[in-house]
Amino acid sequence: MICDSKTDAIRARQSAVRVDLRAVCASSLECAPHPSAPFVNVNCPAVLRLDTTLPAEGEPLSWFGTLGIRSFCGRQREEKDVIPGAFTYHRPSSVAEAVAILVSHGDEARPLSGGHSLIPMMKLRMAAPEHLVDLGGIADLKGITDDGSTITIRAMTTQHELIASDLLAQKLPIIRETALLIADPQIRYVGTLGGNVANGDPGNDMPALMQCLDAAYVLTGPDGERDVPARDFYEAAYFTALAPEEILTAVKIPVPPAGHGYAYEKLKRKVGDYATAAAAVVLTLDGGTVTFCSIALTNVSDTPLYAKEAGEILTGSTLDTATVARAVAAAEAITEPASDGRGPAEYRTKMAGVMLQKALSRAATRAAS
Amino acid sequence: MNDMTPTREQREAALEGMGCKRKRVEDIRFTQGKGQYVDDLKLPGMVFGDFVRSSHAHAKITKIDASEALKLPGVIAVLTAEDLKGVNLAWMPTLAGDVQMVLADGKVLYQNQEVAFVVAENRYIADDAIQLVEVEYEELPVLTDPFKSMDPDAPVLRPDLDGKTEGAHGPRKHHNHIFTWEVGDREETDKAFEEADVTIKELISYHRTHPSPLETCQCVASMDKIKGELTVWGTFQAPHVIRTVASLLSTIPEQKIHVIAPDIGGGFGNKVGAYPGYICAIVASIVTGVPVKWVEDRMENLSTTSFARDYHMTAEIAAKNDGTVTGLKVHVLADHGGFDACADPSKWPAGFFNIVTGSYDFPAAHLEVDGVYTNKAPGGVAYRCSFRVTEAAYCIERAMDILAQKLDMDPADLRMKNFVKSEQFPYHSALGWEYDSGDYHTAMRKAMDTIGYRELRAEQKAKQEAFKRGETREIMGIGVSFFTEIVGAGPSKNCDILGVAMFDSAEIRVHPTGSVISRMGTKSQGQGHETTWAQIIATEIGIPAADIMVEEGNTDTAPYGLGTYGSRSTPVAGAAIALASRKIRNKAQMIAAHMLEVSEYDLEWDVDGFQVKGNPQARKSMKEIAWAAYHAPPPGMEPGLEAVSYYDPPNMTYPFGAYLCVMDIDVDTGVAKTRRFYALDDCGTRINPMIIEGQVHGGLTEAFAIAMGQEIRYDEMGNVLGASFMDFFLPTAVETPHWETDFTVTPSPHHPIGAKGVGESPNVGGVPAFSNAVNDAFKFLGSTHIQMPHDAWRIWQAAKDLGAHG
Ligand SMILES: Cc1cc2nc3c(=O)[nH]c(=O)nc-3n(C[C@H](O)[C@H](O)[C@H](O)COP(=O)(O)OP(=O)(O)OC[C@H]3O[C@@H](n4cnc5c(N)ncnc54)[C@H](O)[C@@H]3O)c2cc1C
């Protein structure tokens, strides 16, 4: 047992926890590895001092922070690393083959997509999988399709491809808006949607957006496929509903009504930074009255946050100042951000509110009334 | 003359000499990724060294067990302090007169301190082995707050200094005290304060940051045991000093040590000092007999080798009601970390901080600096500034703004009122410097007129009213900064490093065909010496810059020099280059006289050769003269055409500038947007205006970073926070403001070509401009001083504390 966990669900899966814990520093890297030279030095995010007191049961894992993670649950860490440990590289050509490799190696294996969260982690030896299962050779995992009511984005679709897709630009423009705020173009050419949502880092932008859009993740394992709603997927930082032998193969998104208003507002310190706080909003208006409103927040807790109550408060309103203030307060109330280089918790909570307000007003101006 | 004869202007242009916007010749390789850096070096049999580092900020080491690591195939050695003691290298002297552990000797004093050095066949194995070295620590109380360093019950950080009441710079008052440095007249200053109409007092902190060059510190050491010769390739801003230090420490004779600094990817002060990595690589190569490479990673660079600043400055100004300043008092608490490893000239424990009177005519001033130990990394280097000059400039520029606020005067007007006047130069400051030249009023007026200063103030006033009426959530700040630097260390009468006077040198050889090889004791890390040095020579001896090769960094071939930092290259080596060139021109004149069969006094210099006075058709070009120097020199004259000059400057140089920053701040997010940034620099004679502009852009970008968020932070346990580029703010082109640059020219009267140095001015002047802009924005809400760095959350916090969030 190396760490207390937040929920019973997590405790029930101790072995998975052990693997995930090695990865707490997931996105804490400072620069992206060049895809063609994956093992150049990536420099460590912060000095890791690992003798931090473990959180008591039920206490939030807020010290995980995100990206600014400086504490590491477990034994004291005396070394610093920028070079990965040894591993075996697999490149299956089908999902079934990939799943079989995961099944045979259990915790020791990890899927590899764009590698822009995983490889930096490995360089820091925050993750030390003995088997890397590269999903890049699986043709089935590419592509975006539309069946009229649902858009399905296959897991290996890159963030750049999300930006370039005409279909998404037309029917789900908020995806493009959000993807443009991820990291920088080099990272987006390689980083995938599947990796971004499967990673479990509350700093990733896509998870909250997927919650806002009420997307479902398709998880494929040895027993076949199951759909898990994005709103139920995230348990704690780096703890998700994904089992170690499962692969996230696709994301299914219900198409919002034509004429919906949308906005993703992200406050960050600089290009390539994760959010200090960010808010995703999708709403519809009818004669100035909100008929539907969905809100989610990024990086202000150890998971993305679906702000259900805030959305409900606004539904039926005319987005008048008093109601917006109530909704913002409701959204702020569910945040539990870490204090880190982006600012103290209080600031980040307030910024979630400010981002929400900005997103609401921009979404409203975009919505057909 | 026929049409084919080039005109004088054409001949001048062909030289690409001083004043020409010559493109940087080094960029041909840099922009193609063809630079040759230390880490590009691959020698046969080369192995790698890497450090086991301390996770604790303060702890005793009770055990180091490397047996498991040594069992790993490919591991060659694991060095500890015990091993280094055998060669008397467990500790090394610092430039500041202290001693520093090379590898932890019984205890650690800061997180990430070097504990053991693992040598292995490759980097992967070295990293695997690091995790197998078992170190046992016994934690000690951690001291991170310099204000608590001298508490009676503060933990003893340096038992090795037990009972030492005398330090390198005088008496020590406490076990964690390093030095007190006092300058100026205390009594006179006290008197000024007693008689003052108005006084201000403020604690102005300049936080800890880091030079963070993109290339980290690194070296390859190769000991040839047969010849007894050691070669070290390294990222050295001062290769000759490194060789001298290596010789003194290792007892290998200096001529048998070859120090080579290849291309360097930025230094900014980070690469002046000597680090444990260099010593360990050298020892490891001596032990193993094969070349050993050591390359720092980013985290190691940011958290161990050379922080900058960490000065806590209490400034007081005495003034009359009309704004005339009458006295300045500054006390500095200097946080030096676990060892005093500041890279200052030996006799200057706080560098040239006594430039803190700035551009103003203070009749009386007093300065006292206390250096203390804390459980933080050592360093205290001059991050793109002359020694502690940027701290001083920040201190006085903030303090002048605070005084203006108290007097209800415009900060620009207050400065104008107190500037040293142009007729006062050479000006003797109350803290002991002789400013060489300046015309501050002209520069300030030009800056204010160009940016439309009065109009901006009117706009600001209107915005403040609108804010109070609740019509906007944005406030506006105008940052004024007028800095005077002191660079070009320096005159042997006050500057040395470990006893070596801070001269610099140039050696120039003209070949028979009229091309030139020249070598200097400096070392470019991005400053463009290969371009500008050739321009000085071109103008001085009339040979096109394109035909002049500049080489630096190899101690076997270059003349001895003290290196490149503190904006000293142009003031010192630049002068040596001009003087060596003039020796060549003098000899060329004698040769030309012989060739033209006239007296040398009948000749005059004309762009690229000598001509007979009154008969310009009778002329010899430098090319012809060079040939003659080797082919048929005048009887009795030594053949050849070369010269060496070692230049000991008579004084420092004092570049100055007026910077103005216009900023808009969203009080609800704390996000600050720089609307305009205008930088007027006066660096004396301008050698290459394009390089100056590039240097100013780079330095302003660093100033922007430092003022707006770049910081090395520690928590109470001594954990260093944010030692990665995710948290350590390095702006990209997206965040960086647009820079408007301008200039005036006030040559240095004592420098052979009148040049003063410019590389660091923008960092020195930029930080106060940004910080004053933020502070200026909040003044109308009742704020006096907001500490740096001004990242969004801190600005938001300031706004909140001032009640701006309603
Ligand atoms: C400098 C930098 C800045 C960044 N900034 C941002 C930002 O602002 N916002 C943002 O959202 N992201 C940011 N990222 C992260 C980036 O978007 C990553 O690409 C993304 O988080 C992971 O996607 P990937 O394809 O690279 O996944 P990988 O790194 O390959 O994998 C990430 C994790 O998910 C698992 N995984 C991957 N694919 C699957 C799958 N199909 N099924 C199951 N498990 C899987 C892996 O095993 C691993 O644990 C940044 C990255 C860098 C390097």
DSSP 8-state class, residue A317: S
What is the domain extent for residue A302?
Answer: 261-366
pLDDT of A38 higher than 60: no
In a domain, A63, yes or no: yes
Interface of B with A in 73-132 (CB under 8 A): 111-112, 123-124, 127-128, 130-131
Mean of the per-residue pLDDT values for chain B? 97
Q: pLDDT tens digits, residue range B304-356?
A: 999 999 999 999 999 999 999 999 999 999 999 999 999 899 999 999 999 99
Average pLDDT of span B416-443: 98
Q: Is residue A315 part of a domain?
A: yes
Q: Once rounded to an integer, what is the mean pLDDT over residues B492-500?
A: 91
pLDDT band at residue B214 using 50, 70 and 90 as cut-offs:
very high
- B529-541 helix and B575-596 helix, angle to the nearest 10 degrees: 30
Given ligand 1 and candidates A40, A94, A113, which is best to mutate, with the most ligand atoms within 8 Å of its CB?
A113
pLDDT of residue A64: 29
A304 inside domain? yes
Q: Both tokens of residue B725?
A: 């580029």
Confidence class for position B5, pLDDT limits 50, 70, 90: confident
A2 assigned to some structural domain: no
What's the average model confidence in pLDDT over B488-494?
Answer: 92
Question: How high is the pLDDT of residue A84?
Answer: 85
Residues of chain A in Cβ contact (below 8 Å) with chain B? 28-31, 41, 43-51, 67-68, 70, 76-83, 85-86, 125, 267, 269-274, 276, 340-344, 347, 350-351, 354
CATH code of residue A225: 3.30.465.10
A225 assigned to some structural domain:
yes
Q: How many Cβ pairs closer than 8 A exist between chain A and B?
A: 134
Picking from A73, A100, A134, the residue at the C-terminal end of a domain is A134
Number of domains comprising chain A: 3
pLDDT at position A57 over 60 = no
Residue A72 has pLDDT above 70, yes or no: no
**8-state DSSP, A135:** G
Segment B635-689, tens digit of pLDDT: 999 999 999 999 999 999 999 999 999 999 999 999 999 999 999 999 999 999 9
Beta carbons of B723 and A44 less than 8 Å apart:
yes
pLDDT of residue B802: 97
Q: Are residues A39 and A110 in the same domain?
A: yes
What's the pLDDT tens digit per position in B226-240?
A: 999 999 999 999 999
Cβ atoms of B286 and B223 closer than 8 Å: yes
Which DSSP letter does residue B151 get? Answer: S
Whether residue A276 and residue B53 make contact (CB cut-off 8 A), yes or no, is no
Asked which of A236, A254, A272 is the last residue of a domain, the reply is A254
Identity of residue B770: F
Q: CA of B214: which chain A residue's CA is closest?
A: A43
Q: What CATH number is given to the structural domain containing A267?
A: 3.30.390.50
Cross-strand partners of A216: A229, A252
Instruction: Mark whether A311 and A283 lie in a shared domain.
Output: yes
- Residues A13 and A128 both lie in one domain: yes
Alpha-carbon Rg of chain A, whole angstroms? 20
* CA distance readout (Å), B74 to B122, B125, B294: 8, 7, 16
Dist CA A201 CA A236 (whole Å): 9
Return d(Cα A367, Cα B573) in angstroms, integer: 66
Cβ atoms of B299 and B725 within 8 Å: the answer is no
**What pLDDT is attached to residue A25?**
31
The verdict on A117 and A27 lying in the same domain is yes
* A36 φψ region: left (φ > 0), alpha (ψ -120 to 50), beta (else): alpha
Q: Is the pLDDT of residue B293 over 80?
A: yes
Q: Tell me, what CATH number does A120's domain have? A: 3.30.43.10
Residue A27, pLDDT > 70, answer no
Residues A279 and A204 in one domain: no
Q: Is the pLDDT of residue A32 over 80?
A: no
Q: What is the per-residue pLDDT for A6?
A: 32
Model confidence over A164-187: pLDDT tens digits? 999 999 999 999 999 999 999 999
pLDDT band at A363 (very low <50, low <70, confident <90, very high): very high
Answer yes or no: do A188 and A227 share one domain: yes
Residues 726-755 of B with CB under 8 A from A: 726-727, 729, 731-732, 734-735
Structure tokens at B286: 């001596």
- Residue B118 one-letter amino acid: V
CA distances from A125 to A81, A213, B676 (A): 6, 35, 44
How many CA atoms, within 13 angstroms, populate the side-chain half-sphere of residue B605? 17
pLDDT in tens, B256-267: 999 999 999 999
Nearest residue in A to B728, CA atom: A341
Low-confidence winner among A65-79, A140-154, A226-240 (lowest mean pLDDT): A65-79
Q: pLDDT tens digits, residue range B708-754?
A: 999 999 999 999 998 999 999 999 999 999 999 999 999 999 999 99
* Residue B155 Ramachandran class (φ > 0 left, ψ -120 to 50 alpha, else beta): beta
Q: Are residues A126 and A206 in the same domain?
A: no
Residue finishing a domain among A213, A237, A254: A254
Q: Answer yes or no: is pLDDT of A22 > 80.
A: no
pLDDT (0 to 100) of residue B752? 97
Q: What is the pLDDT of residue A9?
A: 32
A159 and A220 co-located in one domain = yes
Question: What was the pLDDT predicted at B2?
Answer: 57
User: Based on the domain organization, do A190 and A249 belong to the same domain?
Assistant: yes
Domain annotation for chain B: domains and CATH numbers = 8-35+504-647 (3.30.365.10), 44-140+216-264+271-304 (3.90.1170.50), 307-489+652-801 (3.30.365.10)
Residue B792 in contact with partner chain A when CB distance is under 8 A: yes
Q: Which of A28, A45, A68 is nearest to A340 (CA)?
A: A68
Per-residue pLDDT, averaged over A347-363, amounts to 98
Residue A27 lies in a domain: yes
In a domain, A141, yes or no: no
Q: Residue B540: is its pLDDT beyond 90?
A: yes
Q: Is the ipTM of this complex over 0.85?
A: yes
Strand order in the sheet with A150-154: A144-146, A150-154, A247-254, A216-221, A224-229
Residues A105, A20 share a domain: yes
pLDDT tens, B102-125? 999 999 999 999 999 999 999 999
Q: What is the pLDDT of residues B544-594, one digit of tens each?
A: 999 999 999 999 999 999 999 989 999 999 999 999 999 999 999 999 999
Residues A20 and A121 in one domain: yes
| Residues of chain A positioned with their CB less than 8 A from the CB of B130 | 79-81
Residue A4 belongs to a domain: no
Q: Which of A117, A160, A189, A267 to mutate to test the pocket of ligand 1 (most atoms within 8 A of CB)?
A: A117
What crossing angle do the helices spanning A321-333 and A345-366 adopt, rounded to 10°? Answer: 140
Q: What are phi and psi of A156, to 5 degrees?
A: -85, 10
Residue B48: pLDDT above 60?
A: yes
Tell me how crowded residue B334 is: count the other CB atoms within 10 A of its CB. 26
DSSP-assigned states of every residue in A30-65: SSPPBTTBTTS----SS--B--PPPPPTTS--GGG-
Can you give the three-state secondary structure of A250-316, one letter per residue? EEEEECCCCCCEEEEEEECCCCCCCCCEEEEEEEEEECCEEEEEEEEEECCCCCCEECHHHHHHHCC
Contact (CB, 8 A) for B327 and B192: yes
pLDDT tens-digit series, residues B53-103? 999 999 999 999 999 999 999 999 999 999 999 999 999 999 999 999 999
This prediction's pTM: 0.93
CB contact under 8 A, B793 and A343: yes
Please, are residues B47 and B119 in contact by the beta-carbon 8 Å criterion?
yes
pLDDT above 70 as % of chain B: 100
Among B729, B793, B796, B805, the residue to mutate for chain A (most A Cβ within 10 A): B793
* A306/A222 same-domain check: no
State how far the Cα of B128 lies from the Cα of B124, in Å rounded to an integer.
6
**Measured in angstroms, how far is the CA atom of residue A332 from the centroid of ligand 1?**
27
Tell whether the model's pLDDT for residue A233 goes beyond 60: yes
Q: What pLDDT is stored for residue A125 in this prediction?
A: 85
Task: List C-alpha distances in Å: A52 to A74, B109, B236, B649, B713.
Answer: 8, 20, 38, 55, 18
Q: CA-to-CA distance for B730 and B45, rounded, in angstroms?
A: 37
